Amino acid sequence: MLTTKVDLRGVPCPLNLVKVKLAIEKTAVGDILEIEIDDGEPIQNLPVSLGRQGQEIVETIKCQGYFRLKVRRRL
């Protein structure tokens, strides 16, 4: 199983969602995508949007001023 990382700190909503979507397209179903996003709007919006798309948030780690999400591509 592979883990791909994408740093989206400093990328505002909704562009970060577009970039996550592009990254997910490059991730095989079942693999993990690790995303770094800002506190505030991004952490409020992105997990919800990903959940709506049917992806699985495996882990949310709070770091210094940002978050690291582990997302498993489900479809």
Partner 1 sequence: MSLTEEQIQRYSRNIILEQVGGAGQEKLLASKVLIVGVGGLGSPAALYLAAAGVGTIGLLDGDQVDLTNLQRQIIHHTADVGKRKVVSAKEKIEAVNPDVAVRTYDVWARADSIRDIIREYDFVIDATDNFPAKFLINDVCHFERIPFSHGGILQFEGQLMTIIPGRTACYRCLFPGPPPANAVAPCGQAGVLGVLPGVIGLLQATEAIKYLLGMGGLLTDSLLTYCALTMEFRKVPAQRRADCPLCGPNATITTLRDEGKVVCNRKGCKC
Residues that bind partner 1 (CB under 8 A): 14-15, 17-19, 21-22, 25, 53
Place of tokens 């693999």: 31
Output 52 or 64, the one with its CB closest to partner 1. Answer: 52
CB of 64 to partner 1, least distance (A): 27
CB of 71 to partner 1, least distance (A): 16
75-to-11, 17, 31, 46, 63 alpha-carbon distances in Å: 24, 16, 11, 17, 28
Output 5 or 26, the one with its CB closest to partner 1. Answer: 26
Q: With the C-alpha atoms ordered 14, 20, 26, 27, is the resulting torsion angle positive or negative?
A: negative
